[in-house]
Chain A
Amino acid sequence: MSRQMTGAEMVVQALKDQGVDTIFGYPGGAVLPIYDAIFQQNDIRHILVRHEQAAVHMAEGYARSTGKPGVVLVTSGPGATNAVTGLTDALMDSIPLVVFSGQVPTFMIGTDGFQEADTIGITRPCTKHNWLVKDPAKLSETIHQAFHVATSGRPGPVLIDLPKDVQFATGQYTGPKLARVDHYQPKVKGDLDAITKLVELIEKAERPVFYTGGGVINSGAGASQLLRELVDATGFPITSTLMGLGAYPASGKSWLGMLGMHGLYEANLAMHGCDLMINLGARFDDRITGRVADFSPHSTKAHVDIDASSINKIITVDLPIVGDIGHVLEDLLKVWKARGRKVNKDGLAKWWHKIEEWKKIRCLAYTNSDSIIKPQYALERLEALTKGRNRYITTEVGQHQMWAAQYLGFEAPNRWMTSGGLGTMGYGFPASIGVQIAHPDALVINIAGEASWLMNMQEMGTATQFRTPVKQFILNNERLGMVRQWQDLLHGGRYSQSWSESLPDFVKLAESFGWKGILCRDPKELDDAIMEMINHDGPVLFDCLVEKHENCFPMIPSGKPHNDMLLSADAEAFRGGAALV
């Protein structure tokens, strides 16, 4: 069998050999040969998007819900530049993507040709690595290397820029087994001495806390399983970043809820007051630490991360362990068990007593209403009515995202897709389509604000065309809610440009694309409306009109430490009366 083929055929063959079943893309002049090769096969399904940014977010949703790399194909120039936001989003959240961009022919590079852009230069800082392939003989090997780099070590997006003449040229195809990937082999096993030291700390700690992040999810389902075993066996409390939700189940007895700027009171105070912090695959992001100088002042800090550059970047730690979470947890459990499964029981009992006191604040309490839907209430009802189903949640960015993280419970990893690091409004809708493509029978819900949702609303056509029954649950407050909240708290209530003017009639908009539209404004009708959404076999645009001026609490204002939280008025009053802290 001849392995001679054109560059375009190599792309398709390499994708098949990498086990790719779906790609998200948009054609254009510089990728026509690849689109021709796609036309002549049936193994790889192409999802035609309406804008390249959405293609990348869909691939992110696909990747995060499956653990497999997402694949994107865009044309040169504007196709590539439109992909930049998605690439940056995936880089910040460590999502494995392989993006192919077309390029003008090699002999035209540098001439300001039609739809030419310096894609390699533009995407260099927003990819884990990128390649311009000028030699057809190197094309197939480069693609295999790209998959290796995207998925090894700390995952991330990579891009391959393909000049049109390379797509037409003929060359020898190299299979994945023959591709050289040896020089990029990140370390996955943690240092055993350091792991033993961590076990010693675990045995003695009086006030320990696990602080886990997206690294646990990225490490695979095995890592989440090991984490559950370790947390349940030690009885240590556990909190997680926005990115790590689901690694430990929300119904687990040691779960404190999310931490950080809009994290739970008990989670943040546990971080502030602990004597041993065990960071597993989180990166001390500024939304987590608050004021660095006052961050968890009395704790010994251990940090397990696959990326050595995450260690001591923001917070200086006492015990760094570079390695893959799954491998490190496996070794940690072995050593801890071999040494007799010891923990400081008396210390822990007192620590849990203190945490239970903090929980009595009920920091997520809010004043409900008979006449208007509170966003928190909407999410509580959505949680109650969808719990236990085969459910995947995506979100946009803003207040609704934080409320979703607070009020929804995640029992398994890879069920929660949100833009954490970059905070990309417009992420959730396309991501939900990507998730639904990967899981056709699941209930996929995007929790959105109306402003974020409008940023990629063009993808309604994609959802209709590919019959993805995604549910768009829009908490419509006719405001850029989080911007409004900051203006309320920090800018004297001067709401500069933070309202949504000239909104569409969402029901009519839905119907114009062949969707179902639901409008709900009465709390008494909410349950029925949510059930109608769930039971509809097709995409639904749910316009949930909510209280316009609700703020999201708890909140650690920028530059404040963890023990300086703003609580909602209700929780504040409770704290005043009970004087718990």
Chain B
Amino acid sequence: MAALNIKKGSSSHSAYDLRDFHSDIERSHTLAVIVENEPGVLARVIGLFSGRGYNIDSLTVAEIDHKGHRSRITIVTRGTEAVIEQIRAQLGRIVPVHEVHDLTTEARAVERELALFKVTATGEKRVESLRLADIFRASVVDSTLESFIFEITGTSEKIDAFAELMRPLGLVDVARTGVAALARGV
């Protein structure tokens, strides 16, 4: 049967590709989903993830083209190659979904998240929090004599790292936007 041996796997671009669908390795993927901005479209996307047992690590959504009624949903999810391929295909068949891009495999992408951190501290800890904020290029957007709110943008990893450092200095509250991502280049 050697004559019938062909490569495993598929993609929308050609009949075959080389990805290993049998891989058990789970990886984080960032998906950009361009949807018709109509009522319930987010519920359809979320319902798909919960109904089929997929993970959502982060999700952001906002209108990006008011005239064209387009919104962009950025989803960070986790799964094996086969699961990610299935998520893409399932998203693609939702009627108001126009495009689905896997920014992790299709192209190198810029990923950014914005976060607000409230730190309550006095004395040396207060000074240290300001010093670290400076290193992370976080800016102070609110301050009282006992607290700061820092605004920071960056990759999720950078924000995680900042949170770790701030925790012992009096971090009391965090608000994160989730990931926004765009493919690099043209």
A and B form one complex = yes
A128-B95, A309-B90 known; A193 and B15 CB under 8 Å? yes
Q: Are B21 and A312 closer than 8 Å at their CB atoms? A: yes
B101 CB to closest chain A CB (Å) equals 15
Q: Are B6 and A318 closer than 8 Å at their CB atoms? A: yes
Judged by a CB distance under 8 angstroms, whether B168 is at the interface is no
Which residues of chain B (1-30) have a CB below 8 Å from chain A?
Answer: 1, 3-10, 12, 14-16, 21-22
Q: Are B36 and A183 closer than 8 Å at their CB atoms? A: yes
Q: Are B4 and A205 closer than 8 Å at their CB atoms? A: yes
**Residues of chain B within 8 A of A184, CB atoms compared:** 95
For the complex, what is the distance from the CA of A132 to the CA of B39, rounded to whole Å? 9
For the complex, what is the distance from the CA of A193 to the CA of B1, rounded to whole Å? 21
Q: Are A197 and B6 closer than 8 Å at their CB atoms? A: yes
For the complex, what is the distance from the CA of A312 to the CA of B90, rounded to whole Å? 12
**Residues of chain B within 8 A of A129, CB atoms compared:** 94-96
A300-B4, A309-B90, A309-B92 known; A121 and B43 CB under 8 Å? yes
Q: Are A308 and B1 closer than 8 Å at their CB atoms? A: no
For the complex, what is the distance from the CA of A308 to the CA of B94, rounded to whole Å? 12
A312-B21, A313-B86, A320-B10 known; A191 and B15 CB under 8 Å? yes
Which residues of chain A (132-156) have a CB below 8 Å from chain B?
Answer: 132, 149, 153-154
Judged by a CB distance under 8 angstroms, whether B63 is at the interface is no
Contacting residue for B98 out of A121, A183, A307, CB 8 A: A183
Judged by a CB distance under 8 angstroms, whether A120 is at the interface is yes
**Residues of chain A within 8 A of B10, CB atoms compared:** 311-312, 317, 320
For the complex, what is the distance from the CA of A321 to the CA of B90, rounded to whole Å? 16
**Residues of chain B within 8 A of A316, CB atoms compared:** 8-9, 21-22, 82
Q: Are B5 and A125 closer than 8 Å at their CB atoms? A: no
Q: Are A308 and B4 closer than 8 Å at their CB atoms? A: no
Judged by a CB distance under 8 angstroms, whether B89 is at the interface is yes
When C-beta atoms are compared, the residue in chain B nearest to A132 turns out to be B39
- The interface bits of chain B over 81-104 (1 if a CB of A lies within 8 angstroms of the residue's CB, else 0) are 010011001101111101000000
Q: Are B8 and A318 closer than 8 Å at their CB atoms? A: yes
For the complex, what is the distance from the CA of A185 to the CA of B40, rounded to whole Å? 21
B45 CB to closest chain A CB (Å) equals 11
For the complex, what is the distance from the CA of A194 to the CA of B13, rounded to whole Å? 11
For the complex, what is the distance from the CA of A193 to the CA of B92, rounded to whole Å? 23
Q: Are A308 and B98 closer than 8 Å at their CB atoms? A: no
Judged by a CB distance under 8 angstroms, whether B123 is at the interface is no
Report the contact-size class of chain B (Cβ under 8 Å from the partner).
Answer: 20 to 34
Judged by a CB distance under 8 angstroms, whether A253 is at the interface is no
Q: Are A298 and B1 closer than 8 Å at their CB atoms? A: yes
Q: Are B93 and A300 closer than 8 Å at their CB atoms? A: no
Q: Are B4 and A124 closer than 8 Å at their CB atoms? A: no
Contacting residue for B89 out of A197, A308, A318, A321, CB 8 A: A308
- The interface bits of chain A over 199-214 (1 if a CB of B lies within 8 angstroms of the residue's CB, else 0) are 0010011100000000
Judged by a CB distance under 8 angstroms, whether B53 is at the interface is no
Judged by a CB distance under 8 angstroms, whether B51 is at the interface is yes
For the complex, what is the distance from the CA of A194 to the CA of B51, rounded to whole Å? 32
B69 CB to closest chain A CB (Å) equals 10
When C-beta atoms are compared, the residue in chain B nearest to A311 turns out to be B10
For the complex, what is the distance from the CA of A201 to the CA of B2, rounded to whole Å? 11
A439 CB to closest chain B CB (Å) equals 31
For the complex, what is the distance from the CA of A201 to the CA of B4, rounded to whole Å? 6
**Residues of chain B within 8 A of A307, CB atoms compared:** 89, 93
**Residues of chain B within 8 A of A154, CB atoms compared:** 93
When C-beta atoms are compared, the residue in chain A nearest to B89 turns out to be A309
A101 CB to closest chain B CB (Å) equals 15
Contacting residue for A319 out of B15, B40, B44, CB 8 A: B15
When C-beta atoms are compared, the residue in chain A nearest to B92 turns out to be A308
Judged by a CB distance under 8 angstroms, whether A275 is at the interface is yes
A256 CB to closest chain B CB (Å) equals 21
When C-beta atoms are compared, the residue in chain B nearest to A310 turns out to be B89
**Residues of chain A within 8 A of B4, CB atoms compared:** 201, 204-205, 275-276, 300
- The interface bits of chain A over 295-315 (1 if a CB of B lies within 8 angstroms of the residue's CB, else 0) are 000101000000111011100
Q: Are B95 and A125 closer than 8 Å at their CB atoms? A: no
A128-B95, A183-B36, A183-B98 known; A319 and B6 CB under 8 Å? yes
Q: Are B44 and A124 closer than 8 Å at their CB atoms? A: yes
- The interface bits of chain A over 336-352 (1 if a CB of B lies within 8 angstroms of the residue's CB, else 0) are 00000000000000000
Given contacts A125-B51, A132-B39, A194-B15, 13 further A-B contacts (CB under 8 A): A120-B40, A153-B93, A183-B36, A191-B15, A300-B6, A307-B89, A309-B93, A312-B82, A312-B85, A318-B8, A319-B15, A320-B15, A321-B15
A-side interface residues toward B, CB under 8 Å?
Answer: 120-121, 124-125, 128-129, 132, 149, 153-154, 183-184, 191, 193-194, 197, 201, 204-206, 275-276, 298, 300, 307-309, 311-313, 316-322
Top 9 nearest A-B pairs (CB, nearest first) are: A309-B89, A194-B15, A129-B95, A320-B10, A300-B4, A308-B89, A316-B21, A204-B3, A309-B90
Interchain Cβ contacts under 8 Å between A and B, 12 examples:
A124-B43, A124-B47, A191-B15, A204-B3, A204-B4, A309-B89, A309-B90, A309-B93, A312-B10, A316-B9, A319-B15, A321-B15
B-side interface residues toward A, CB under 8 Å?
Answer: 1, 3-10, 12, 14-16, 21-22, 36, 39-40, 43-44, 47, 51, 82, 85-86, 89-90, 92-96, 98
